[in-house]
Structures are given as C-alpha cells and as structure tokens.
Amino acid sequence: MSVSQSPRRADAARNRAHLVDVARAALSADPSATMQSLARLAGVGQGTIYRHFPSREALLAEVYRDDFQALIASARALATGPDQGAALRSWLDGLAAFGYQKHALTEVLDAVTRQQLHDEQYDEIIAAIGLLLDAGVRARVLRPDVAPPDLLALVAFLWQIGSSAADRVPHLLDLVVDGLRAS
C-alpha cells in the first residue's frame, strides 16, 4: 500500500461517518427522508452517497449498527464506573432509546436485514449485559443469580412497546432493576 492511498482511505472513512451522522439526525426528524435529500444535507452528490451505501436500507442499517456500537461502548464504560448502583439502570435507559429506534426501523428494513442485524448483535448485547451484571454483583448491588439472557428477556418489551408508550418505560425499567437488586 502506498502512502498516497492511506489519506484517501481515511478521507473515505470520514465521509462515510459524516453520511451516517447526517442520516441519523435527518431520519430522526423525518423518517421518510430520501437518499437525495440526505445527500443534499450532507453536502455531497447522490453518487457519493450511493458509492458508500447502495440503498437507503443499507444506510439505515449502518446508522443502526453505529448506534448499537455506541450502546455497547457505554456498557463497557458504565461497568468500570464508580456507581454500580446506577450503572445498569442508566444503560437500560440507553437500551430503551435504542429499542425505539429498532422498533421504528422494523417497518423500513426487510426481514432478512432485521434478522442479519439481530444475528450480528446478539452475542455483543449479551456480553455487554454480562459486564454490567458482573460489575453490579461485585459491588454487591445486584443479585448473582441473573444471567444476561434472563435480563434480555425481561427487557424485550423495549423492542415492542414503541414510542407511543414511552412514558411507561421508566417505570417498567425501575421494576426490572428493583427485581435485580441484591437483598
């Protein structure tokens, strides 16, 4: 690889990240935003956006993946933080926000893409939950008998409830976390 290729690749990665950021913001304001409008908002031509993402669905899936990675990173940070009493609950709030996004995307992404995203991310979400549960057990604030798949099953309602019932989510998450507290 020549030295001249490296800056181009870095520039392409920055452009791709910029497109994902623009798409995230635009789609949260208008879920029906088109690739043409996203390209215009990003200040690029349609060819550029299609070079990075061959379809609107591919761009939406990348926004989803990027947000998922941020959620996983937040679990790692919270698991090493000083307040394990609040870490899990804080992360569950982030999971709830991610759940709303996932719920909204189910109508946009086809079944194959949804299954692919689920398959890609299941092990990572289980590992993230495990980090938080283990940290809470070590801090003696969470029960030691809860496995990551158990907690994931308890909060699966986040993917179903949708934003219309968002006002109930904090109470429901409080109930889940209260049930996990060490006695």
**Prediction pTM value:** 0.83
Tell me, what CATH number does 152's domain have? Answer: 1.10.357.10
Verify that 41 and 61 share a domain, yes or no: no
Q: How many domains does the chain have?
A: 2
Q: What is the mean pLDDT of residues 134-140?
A: 97
145-154 per-position pLDDT tens digit: 999 999 999 9
Range of the domain at 146: 56-180
Give CA–CA dist 27/77, Å, rounded: 27
Other beta carbons within 10 angstroms of residue 162's beta carbon come to 13
Shared-domain flag, residues 75 and 92: yes
Angle, CA of 68, 48 and 64, to the nearest 5°: 10
Same domain, 155 and 65: yes
What is the rounded distance in angstroms from the CA atom of residue 86 to the CA atom of residue 180?
Answer: 12
**Domain CATH number, residue 3:** 1.10.10
Q: Is 60 exposed, middle or buried (0-12, 13-18, 19+ CB in 10 A)?
A: buried
Please tell me whether residues 137 and 170 are part of one structural domain.
yes
Is there a single domain that holds both residue 48 and residue 130? no
**Residues 165 and 118 both lie in one domain:** yes
Same domain, 26 and 62: no
89 pLDDT band, cuts 50/70/90, is: very high
Q: Is 119 in the same domain as 172? A: yes
Residue 139 and residue 84: Cα distance in Å, rounded? 6
pLDDT by residue (tens digit) across 12-57?
889 899 999 999 999 888 888 899 999 999 999 999 999 999 999 8
* pLDDT value of residue 2: 47
Same domain as 73, residue 11:
no
Backbone φ and ψ of 43, nearest 5°:
75, 30
Round the CA-based radius of gyration of the chain to a whole number and report it: 19
Does 72 share its domain with 147?
A: yes
Q: Are residues 86 and 165 in the same domain?
A: yes
